[in-house]
Amino acid sequence: MISTALGVAHEGHAVAECVATREDARGQRGADAAMRALMAWAVSLGAHCIGLQVVADNAPAIALYRRLGFEAVCENRFWVKR
């Protein structure tokens, strides 16, 4: 296994989380395959909308999500308590 993606689906919506690729396997489109599988799974459960979050400076992930038809609809800020 070179890439993983976690999905949650409920009432027509799905969220992709924890998309990751082994460092030594980057550039082999493993995350592409994992996301396509997640998207097919979500649609099979009735999802008509799939969302995800990506850090603004993660250019490879943004390129992947654009290739898969995702588009940015807002900007989030991460909040932490230290």
Q: Cα(8)–Cα(27) distance, rounded to whole angstroms?
A: 26
∠ CA(18), CA(60), CA(77), 5° rounding?
A: 60
> What are the pLDDT digits (tens) for 24-66?
999 899 999 999 999 999 999 999 999 999 999 999 999 999 9
pTM score of the predicted model? 0.89
What pLDDT is attached to residue 38? 98
Pick the CATH number of 3-67 from 3.40.50.1580, 1.10.287.3510, 3.40.630.30, 3.40.640.10: 3.40.630.30
Query: Where are the chain's structural domains?
Result: 3-67
Place of tokens 């588009």: 71
> Whose CA is closest to 68, among 56, 43, 11, 1?
43
Taking phi over 0 as left and psi of -120 to 50 as alpha, with beta for the rest, 32 belongs to: alpha
